Amino acid sequence: MGGQKMKSKFLDYDIENDVLYIYFEKAQEAISREVGEGIFLRLDPNTDQVVGVTVLNIRKQIIPTDKTLVETHA
């Protein structure tokens, strides 16, 4: 991270659409680049710096729904 510190972060969760928005600075215009299934980095279009992250279907991303996975850990 080159010694840079994150000044602040903001979280927004859209429960109806199950989308988590993480902002490292104030919300701003950005371009999105998908880096994983349903995971997008938000980039400042002028500097290409990461200004946020958007995660679609966050509940599916963090809660296992595969029955065999749950049984294996029981």
Could you say which residues of the chain have pLDDT below 70? 1-8, 63-74
pLDDT at site 39: 95
pLDDT at site 66: 59
pLDDT at site 74: 47
pLDDT at site 67: 57
What pTM does this model have? 0.68
Helix (H, G, I), strand (E, B) or coil at 69: helix
pLDDT at site 25: 76
| Residue 42 CB neighbour total at 10 angstroms | 22
